[in-house]
Amino acid sequence: MATVRERTRGAGRRDWSTWPAYDAAVTGFRGWWYPVAWASTITRRPTAVVLGDTKIMLMRDGDAVRALHDRCPHRGIPLSMGRQQFPGTLSCAYHGWTFDLSSGRLSAVLTDGPESRICGKVSVTTYPVEQRLGLVWLYLPRVDGDPDEVPHPIDEQLPEELVGTDFVVGGRIDDRAGNWRFAVENGYDEGHAKYLHRTALWRLFKTMPAWNVTHIERRGRWIYRVQDEVHWSGDFPGVGTWTNYRWWKQKPPQQTFNIGNTGAAKRVDPVIAAQAFPGFASLSVPGVLRIAYPNFIHYEFYVPTGPDSHRYVGLMVNFTRGGWRVPWFWAKYLGGIRWLFHGQFSGQDAAMVEATDAPPERLYRPDVSLTEWRKLCEETEAARSASAPEGAS
Amino acid sequence: MATVRERTRGAGRRDWSTWPAYDAAVTGFRGWWYPVAWASTITRRPTAVVLGDTKIMLMRDGDAVRALHDRCPHRGIPLSMGRQQFPGTLSCAYHGWTFDLSSGRLSAVLTDGPESRICGKVSVTTYPVEQRLGLVWLYLPRVDGDPDEVPHPIDEQLPEELVGTDFVVGGRIDDRAGNWRFAVENGYDEGHAKYLHRTALWRLFKTMPAWNVTHIERRGRWIYRVQDEVHWSGDFPGVGTWTNYRWWKQKPPQQTFNIGNTGAAKRVDPVIAAQAFPGFASLSVPGVLRIAYPNFIHYEFYVPTGPDSHRYVGLMVNFTRGGWRVPWFWAKYLGGIRWLFHGQFSGQDAAMVEATDAPPERLYRPDVSLTEWRKLCEETEAARSASAPEGAS
Amino acid sequence: MATVRERTRGAGRRDWSTWPAYDAAVTGFRGWWYPVAWASTITRRPTAVVLGDTKIMLMRDGDAVRALHDRCPHRGIPLSMGRQQFPGTLSCAYHGWTFDLSSGRLSAVLTDGPESRICGKVSVTTYPVEQRLGLVWLYLPRVDGDPDEVPHPIDEQLPEELVGTDFVVGGRIDDRAGNWRFAVENGYDEGHAKYLHRTALWRLFKTMPAWNVTHIERRGRWIYRVQDEVHWSGDFPGVGTWTNYRWWKQKPPQQTFNIGNTGAAKRVDPVIAAQAFPGFASLSVPGVLRIAYPNFIHYEFYVPTGPDSHRYVGLMVNFTRGGWRVPWFWAKYLGGIRWLFHGQFSGQDAAMVEATDAPPERLYRPDVSLTEWRKLCEETEAARSASAPEGAS
């Protein structure tokens, strides 16, 4: 029977005080760009989204997309209940307070006449918006409503290979249960894929490893999971033999590999090859996962939408330069990837993220991927706090 | 870009500390009569209602309606789960504790035999009840269970024109989301009708003003919204022209008017004319709205049922002296008013009341209707606190 | 009108501070065996149950049933989401942490390879399990995870007549609303049966008493309700006559009786007769009710599953020695008892238990059954605290 000493030794971490900035980031890190919606879904009819703990209204204004705090300062009605009565504006549903979409300024109050003295004296916080990869990106400022904060260019935050290259994108946005940190950790987690996803249809014909030995390398703003050993089966003392081999599955490769997760590739896409990723899974703040396969890259963005929920944005990117490869990619994406990978496979993750309840937690060897991620968050936040705030334009 | 000074100046009220009694009245003011149900729905089978933060059981006892605190003192079972076993009493469903409906006294315990020593030693709080306008009215005492409190006569609280006159009533009772104060403020709010209700079918054929200039007059226990100017359209600088004109709608009148909200009437009902209301919308504590039209008056009572809910009681009263006018009123009410006015029109209000989230708030010129209402509440409560409590009979 | 003095005198108990251990036992007493599931429903596929405030996973392991704390220490995933990959173990769904079912020790981590250094250093709390009466019983330890605590033998806790005798059992398990204490008190409550259950189909043909005079006797670990007088009707002053007589119901017996609740029996089962119960309703800690009828005994176990819920386990036991009596019992049970007694009758109780809201409470004479039960709990807990803890094996 376990002694008290053994139980204490095995108790693991009671809390996350080792990573204070991460521990505090219940509703996400501020001062970053987040993808919140497909650009094609944002129209002149307002859309309500939540980013971190902030309610935001998105609306199309010509080619631009505008983002305003989703609360009329008059009586607290969500602006997203309103509609556009005049170009470049949004009128609140209740009393017709009419805000300029680009500045957030109150430009007219339809129920107070043209001489309304309140116009120009009230404004709603606006949020910087960009459109990239077919998505609308919002910048969540470090301090809400600080007029001096200028966001860093979004291209500095996007994965480098997605800036200045040609590609096609397929993807899926889902609102999911569970804190955003559990979602990031699940995505980058070395250990779970080999067990949790053993039954995924996505892996029906390809054997997955039973376990790996990996280490984490940092390069710039990314950390990479680098595979040192790949094991396809094992005899577990006192328990039995464990493997993901099945007679109908492709035999695994003999060498260790660091692109894709079922073996080395015959041919690697030149854009992907040019990145020379040290490992096939990489991660950056504020929660961007990149899984490099030989012919495409899968990205996951985990957007905080509350203490117990997040928005999952999963993208599959193919670096094609047009021509017949584009319809070919779409056929593959819609015919299979969307359902098998972004559907059932990712649904297994969603169930675990929802059920995760930590800390307390008891980490094991493969969880170096988690601890290095948390360390990256701490260092990134510390470096930002140290740098002087950028000046207003 | 907005400077910090502008933002501060535009920040509005952070709280309601200017109106402390009103601020505290989350679940309503005590010491008033409230309409809680249609009298015709109260039978020998108990009905559970909530008034303020109090659960009350209503039950018919011959012509009278009785109201008891809806909690058996024995084990906390709602008395409304019980039934009547003997005339003039109600027996709790669990152990047959039998209470006298008029006094609240425990008169028998069916499971303790005729000699039960507890009879006469326990009682349930009773609440004064009146029946007026086809409704059951409850008096919510200032202090629960104070035997010395005698309610003021209900006729002193009813709108004066409803005491001693003949009339027919049509109406609707709905349980709605949102604090009762948001419901009162919505009802009396000068500004919203012209914008929010612009799409109401009720206004399909009659143009509503675009904005008004009004002031508030107090007369006795009522405050009135008095229209000084009525504007039917306007050119809003930098935004455009706004009006509720439509080619299929009746043209609006040229003069300013203070009865109805779409123009002066050809003929006004003599009872209504005799009131000489200074404005068509009036309001009194504890939340009674009166909208005078030329041929009927619409009343709204907002009954607190919790911090985030209220019971909406909407009445349409026609001062007819019987004869063919009664079926004519009913035909109009059931054929149109009920669906258009007490239905869709009022449903637009319900959506706003539910969505209102104040304070903080940023009031504008037409909100003098709100601030005068809050001031009326403060003064009324202060006057009551100053007067000596009435003696017991 | 009630004076203030009368109201104060009638106020009853504001809280349960008279019974501090009972008052504190919101989620049940610890250090007892509880029935949690039918043994036949526990298979190799894990079942999640809640006992007190503890989540537990049940799983069959050959003939034995195993119970583990339903939380993987790694990341908090419920072990009941996992499955068995190797005999005698359960693997967590997320990362394949594999626990020995009998010891709770981590015996393998499938995603960490055979050399995993964490094996043997982590364990999950296990709970003692027994199978009796076709049910799985769990022991809820006084202190979670204390390796020195050895449970008392379950047979010391079972009703004496169920140890070493032959019988057949029919029963029903329901998850119900309401604190477990309200359920116990409802079950043993002298007063409610005669009023609440007057309309039960179970009593359609047999008159129930109108009220009784009883006292409580303690014998060993049981308290018994002993009937001194049984009254079939009464004239309640100022109210009227009350009885459960109906022309179609069996006439009640003339003598006082203490077995069954509608009258003395012609023939009593010898096992039941041998118990010489002083009263037909008896109760023991931690919430076991026994209602002795002439030919069977009905038991109710109230298993705490949270502050506002419990699991109701109702059993009907017939002390038959096999042969034709067994199918006869089953025919009676399935044809009637299950629906009338364990269904509608017991459903009336469930509604009251859910609606009970005490303290405050105002007890009356028959509630001596409640106060003696609470006193029994206090004395039992005090005696256990006084005795030295049992040593580890």
pLDDT, residue C259, reads: 63
| CA A212/CA A256 separation, integer angstroms | 10
pLDDT, residue C355, reads: 97
B192 closest CB neighbour out of A94, A107, A114:
A94
Query: At residue A392, does pLDDT exceed 60?
Result: no
| 3 state DSSP class of C162 | helix
Question: Between chains, do C93 and A352 touch, taking CB under 8 Å as contact?
Answer: yes
User: What residues does C291 pair with on adjacent strands?
Assistant: C281, C298
Of A202-206, A260-264, A278-282, the range with the lowest mean pLDDT is A260-264
| CA A36/CA A303 separation, integer angstroms | 7
What's the longest Cα–Cα distance across chain B?
A: 85
pLDDT, residue C198, reads: 85
A384 touches chain B (CB under 8 A): no
Q: Is A174 within 8 Å of A349 (Cβ atoms)?
A: no
B366 touches chain A (CB under 8 A): yes
| CA A372/CA B245 separation, integer angstroms | 65
| CA C184/CA C208 separation, integer angstroms | 21
Structure tokens at B124: 């349930």
Residue type present at position A10: G
Question: Between chains, do B242 and A112 touch, taking CB under 8 Å as contact?
Answer: no
Rounded to 10°, the helix A346-355/A180-188 angle is: 130
Residues C212-233: what's their mean pLDDT? 93
| CA C153/CA A344 separation, integer angstroms | 48
Query: At residue C202, does pLDDT exceed 90?
Result: no
| CA B309/CA B175 separation, integer angstroms | 7
Chain centroid to CA C364: 25
A365 touches chain C (CB under 8 A): yes
Higher pLDDT, B305 or C346: B305
Structure tokens at B142: 């200032």
Distance to chain B for A280, nearest Cα, Å: 45
Provide, as residue numbers in chain B, all residues whose Cβ is less than 8 Å from the Cβ of C7: 123, 145, 147
Query: At residue C258, does pLDDT exceed 60?
Result: yes
Count Cα neighbours of A177 within 13 Å in the Cβ-side half-sphere. Answer: 8
Rounded to 10°, the helix C368-386/C180-188 angle is: 120
Structure tokens at A250: 């492709």
Residues A89-101: what's their mean pLDDT? 97
Give Cα separations from B312 to B26, B167, B287 (angstroms): 16, 21, 11
pLDDT, residue A4, reads: 36
| A·B CB contacts under 8 A | 117
Interface predicted TM-score (ipTM): 0.91
Residues A368-378: what's their mean pLDDT? 97
Structure tokens at A27: 């509703």
Q: How many CB atoms lie within 10 A of CB C123?
A: 22
Q: Is A113 within 8 Å of B231 (Cβ atoms)?
A: yes
Q: Is the peptide bond before B360 cis (omega within 30 degrees of 0)?
A: yes
Q: Is B360 within 8 Å of B12 (Cβ atoms)?
A: yes
Distance to chain A for B239, nearest Cα, Å: 6
pLDDT, residue A331, reads: 84
A81 touches chain B (CB under 8 A): yes
Provide, as residue numbers in chain A, all residues whose Cβ is less than 8 Å from the Cβ of B189: 95
Q: Which of B149, B183, B148, B145 is nearest to B31 (CA)?
A: B149
Question: Which regions of chain A does DSSP assign to beta strands (E)?
Answer: 32-38, 47-51, 54-61, 64-69, 89-91, 97-100, 106-109, 129-132, 135-140, 168-177, 211-219, 222-231, 233-236, 240-243, 281-284, 288-292, 297-306, 309-318
| Pairs from B77-83 (Cβ < 8 Å, separation ≥ 24) | B77/C352, B77/C355, B77/C356, B77/C357, B78/B48, B78/C355, B79/B46, B79/B124, B80/B46, B80/B47, B80/B48, B81/B46, B81/C351, B81/C355, B82/B46, B83/B45, B83/B46
Q: Which of A38, A63, A33 is nearest to A135 (CA)?
A: A38
Residues C367-389: what's their mean pLDDT? 90
- Sorted by sequence, the CB contacts under 8 Å of residue B74 that are 6+ apart come out as B92, B94, B95, B97, C361, C362, C363, C364
Averaged pLDDT score across all residues of chain B? 89
Question: Between chains, do B195 and A113 touch, taking CB under 8 Å as contact?
Answer: no
Q: Which of A90, A83, A86 is nearest to A105 (CA)?
A: A90
Confidence at B261, pLDDT banded by 50, 70, 90 = low
Provide, as residue numbers in chain C, all residues whose Cβ is less than 8 Å from the Cβ of A355: 76-78, 81
Rounded to 10°, the helix C180-188/C346-355 angle is: 130
Structure tokens at B31: 């010491």
Question: Between chains, do A195 and C71 touch, taking CB under 8 Å as contact?
Answer: no
pLDDT, residue C263, reads: 56
pLDDT digits (tens, 9 = 90+) for A113-132: 999 999 999 999 999 999 99
A368 touches chain C (CB under 8 A): no
pLDDT, residue A200, reads: 77
pLDDT, residue C333, reads: 81
Question: Between chains, do B114 and C236 touch, taking CB under 8 Å as contact?
Answer: yes
| 3 state DSSP class of C71 | coil
pLDDT, residue C260, reads: 63
pLDDT, residue A393, reads: 35
| CA A254/CA A260 separation, integer angstroms | 14
B348, B362, B370: which to substitute to probe chain A, counting the most A Cβ within 10 Å? B362
B195 touches chain A (CB under 8 A): yes
* Cα-Cα-Cα-Cα dihedral sign, residues A28, A29, A30, A36: negative
Query: At residue B301, does pLDDT exceed 70?
Result: yes
Structure tokens at A116: 């309304």
Q: Is B269 within 8 Å of B294 (Cβ atoms)?
A: yes
Q: Which of B84, B122, B117 is nearest to C366 (CA)?
A: B117
pLDDT digits (tens, 9 = 90+) for B28-76: 999 999 999 999 999 999 999 999 999 999 999 999 999 999 999 999 9
B368 touches chain A (CB under 8 A): no
Q: Is A281 within 8 Å of A291 (Cβ atoms)?
A: yes
| CA A52/CA A49 separation, integer angstroms | 10
Count Cα neighbours of B233 within 13 Å in the Cβ-side half-sphere. Answer: 11
A107 touches chain B (CB under 8 A): yes
Residues A358-368: what's their mean pLDDT? 95
Distance to chain C for A213, nearest Cα, Å: 8
What residues 222-251 of chain C have any CB closer than 8 A to a CB of chain B?
A: 231, 234-240, 242
Q: How many CB atoms lie within 10 A of CB A293?
A: 18
The secondary structure of residue A88, as a DSSP letter, is T
The model carries a pTM of: 0.91
The secondary structure of residue A384, as a DSSP letter, is H
**Neighbors of chain C by Cβ distance (3+ pairs < 8 Å):** A, B
Q: Could you tell me how many helices (H) and strands (E) chain A has, helices first? A: 8, 18
What torsion, rounded to 10 degrees, do the Cα atoms A12, A18, A23, A28 define? -120
User: What residues does B241 pair with on adjacent strands?
Assistant: B235
| CA A252/CA A264 separation, integer angstroms | 9
Question: Between chains, do A86 and B240 touch, taking CB under 8 Å as contact?
Answer: yes
Q: Is the peptide bond before A46 cis (omega within 30 degrees of 0)?
A: no
Query: At residue A173, does pLDDT exceed 90?
Result: yes
Q: Is B379 within 8 Å of B209 (Cβ atoms)?
A: no
Residues B302-329: what's their mean pLDDT? 90
pLDDT, residue A57, reads: 98
Provide, as residue numbers in chain B, all residues whose Cβ is less than 8 Å from the Cβ of C6: 121, 123
| CA C191/CA B96 separation, integer angstroms | 9
User: What residues does A227 pair with on adjacent strands?
Assistant: A214
pLDDT digits (tens, 9 = 90+) for C122-151: 999 999 999 999 999 999 999 887 878 999
Q: Which residues of B269-305 are buried (b: 16+ CB within 10 A; e: fewer)?
A: bebbeebebbbbbbbbbbbbbbbbbbbbbbbbbbbbb
| A·C CB contacts under 8 A | 118
Question: Which regions of A89-208 does DSSP assign to beta strands (E)?
Answer: 89-91, 97-100, 106-109, 129-132, 135-140, 168-177
Question: Between chains, do B95 and C4 touch, taking CB under 8 Å as contact?
Answer: no
Of A173-182, B363-372, C141-150, C173-182, the range with the lowest mean pLDDT is C141-150
